[in-house]
Amino acid sequence: MRQSSLVVVANRLPIDDSVAPDGACEWRRSPGGLVSALHPLLRHTPATWVGWAGGTGPAPDLPDIDGVRMHSVPLSGDDLRDHYEGFANATLWPIYHDAVEQPQHHRRWWDAYLRVNQRFAEATAQVAEPGAVVWVQDYHLQLVPGLLRTLRPDLRIGFFLHVPFPPPELFMQLPRRAELLRGMLGADLVGFQRAQAAHNFAQLVTKVLGLPATDRRIGIDDRVVRIGAFPVSIDTVEMAALADRPDVADRARRLRHDLGSPEQVILSVDRMDYTKGIEQRLKAYSELLAGGHVKVRDTVLVQVAVPSRERVSQYQILRDRVEREVGRINGEFGRVGEPAIHYLTQPFDRAELAALYRVADVMAVTPLRDGMNLVAKEYVAARVDDTGALLLSEFAGAAAELPQAYLVNPHDLEGLKQGLLAAVRADPADVRERMRSMRAYLHEHDIRAWARSYLSTLDQSGSMLAHLGG
Ligand code: ADP
Ligand code: F6P
């Protein structure tokens, strides 16, 4: 077994098996923010990525991708149902996102969560060289740090949560709250997107486990676990370079033409998830159309909503409702060849996404709750001419870093309508000034700055930093 000095452990590998139209298995980039953040960072780094390759059955043997070793962990059909779709995405996910949908509890889901976390910990123990740095990612694997420390006390273990960490009132609902906290405390450093999340964690550790904790340090056994906020980011230079490519600029011009050359294009790009506020946004847009505040001929909405977690019932219900609403709005307000909403559920390659960002005069990112939201940061990075208004939810982690966005409360329908209108009608000089400072911020606070800040706190010898690509 080949071993590495840096091991990243995440539920997903950066590639996912999917079925091509002809029925053949094909590999493509996995969806979601975690892969978008880590993939450019690890490229050409002598690291191993431990994760699930999508699908069920035996773990496939995968080639290295961009110089990174892929070590796949298998999930059975039962694991997929009870660990991924169950405990991770129907218990933890809603609790961590303000319970905007009802969290579900089933005892067998916990058994699967423990079993799969144990499998990930064992796989990681095999591929980590003595004294290696192991960086465990996200809520699917909260028990891995504790399990791994038992198997391999020689390792330096980090844990990073990409999603929000909820206030104590919500977390206390979890029947296995003590085990989840203890699992995370197996790490030497527990990182969150926001300082409030670290504060929530410290409070819970004292309340549930009776341990001494501040927002920076927790004492457990004879160790100190450090905690803190490390807001994740994107490869800003890469997105800007992509958006600046002549073929992408041409594609953006073509898209605008195909959209009917409207005065304003509003764009939203989300996974089809109830946390993203898609229904609320559609309602706001539809009321603006109904009130005559915007006209389909002048203003179009492009909603990209790539299906996600499709076997989880709350996601199926959401998709049905969104599609019914898009149909209703187009039926009511569209004309032949002029739909009010251009609705797309396909995954796009990075160049097509960059062209969409370039064509959008307004980017509406209005989740009800989001750990960070990298789409908002990608949009800013892609606006190489400093134009474009970002309408951003106060409840996205990104809002703490991008206060120059047009901020809205997506739970307030009137506020959301006013925010959309303000962004559509904004003074170009104001838009430019805001965009310029957001772009400058993201050039400094990019994905490498995130990794540097996290890994230098975790691995104070600094040896790991030398490996990360420049
Ligand atoms: P989450 O992690 O909840 O999915 P983020 O906004 O943080 O949300 O990250 C989503 C990532 O997925 C972004 O990098 C975005 O570019 C990508 N993405 C979203 N929709 C699509 C799509 N239709 N095709 C390809 N990539 C997409
Ligand atoms: O950001 C939260 C997250 O669960 C990430 O772990 C992942 O990148 C993304 O959402 C997509 O979710 P999934 O892996 O369930 O498709």
Per-residue pLDDT tens for 50-77? 999 988 989 988 888 888 999 999 999 9
CATH number, domain at 191?
3.40.50.2000
Do 293 and 391 belong together in one domain?
Answer: yes
Are 147 and 280 in a shared domain? no
- Whether residue 1 is contained in a domain is answered as no
Active site residue 162: yes
Same-domain pairing of 43 and 184 = yes
Average pLDDT over residues 275-298: 97
With contact defined as beta carbons under 8 Å apart, do 303 and 342 qualify? yes
455 and 352 assigned to the same domain: no
First to last CA, the chain: 28
Q: By alpha-carbon position, which residue is closest to atom 2 of ligand 1?
A: 33
Active-site position among 83, 97, 140, 162: 162
Region of poorest pLDDT, from 3-17, 29-43, 81-95, 243-257: 29-43
Is pLDDT above 80 for 464?
A: no
Alpha helices in 17-167 (DSSP H): 33-42, 77-79, 93-96, 107-127, 144-151
Together in a domain, 261 and 148:
no
Residues 180 and 324 in one domain: no
361 and 411 share a domain? Answer: yes
| HSE-up (13 A, CA, CB side) for residue 247 | 5
Indicate if 246 and 125 belong to the same structural domain. no
User: Any idea which of 14-28, 287-301, 321-335, 359-373 has the lowest mean pLDDT?
Assistant: 14-28
Give the model's confidence band at 141: pLDDT under 50 very low, under 70 low, under 90 confident, else very high.
very high
From CA 273, how far away is CA 278, in angstroms rounded? 8
Side-chain half-sphere of 286: how many Cα atoms within 13 Å? 15
Report the share of the chain in percent with pLDDT over 70: 95
| pLDDT at position 218 | 97
Q: Does 210 map to a domain?
A: yes
Residues spanned by the domain of 132:
6-232+448-467
Output the pTM of the full model: 0.95
Is residue 421 predicted with pLDDT exceeding 60? yes
| Residue with more model confidence, 443 or 14 | 443
Q: Give the chain's domain count.
A: 2
Bridge partners, 16 (sequence order): 28
The reply to whether 467 belongs to the active site is no
> Does pLDDT of 450 surpass 80?
yes
What would the pLDDT profile of 150-186 be if each residue is shown by its tens digit? 999 999 999 999 999 999 999 999 999 999 999 999 9
Token pair, residue 151, equals: 């198997």
pLDDT attached to residue 470: 42
Q: Are strands 223-229 and 217-220 parallel, antiparallel or unpaired?
A: antiparallel
Sign of the torsion formed by the C-alpha atoms of 444, 447, 448 and 454: positive
The answer to whether residue 44 scores a pLDDT higher than 90 is no
Say how many Å lie between the CA of residue 212 and the centre of ligand 2: 32
Residue 90 maps to a domain: yes
Q: Which of 162, 193, 309, 373 to mutate to test the pocket of ligand 2 (most atoms within 8 A of CB)?
A: 162
- Both tokens of residue 290? 């109904």
Q: Tell me: pLDDT of 18 over 70.
A: no
- Shared domain check, 78 and 59: yes
Same domain flag for 384 and 453: no
How far, in whole angstroms, is CA 341 from its chain's centroid? 25
Ligand 1: residue whose CA is nearest its atom 17: 32
* Residue 433, pLDDT score: 98
Q: Are residues 19 and 107 in the same domain?
A: yes
* Side chain identity at residue 24, one-letter code: A
Are both 240 and 228 inside the same structural domain?
A: no
- Assess if residue 172 is contained within a domain: yes
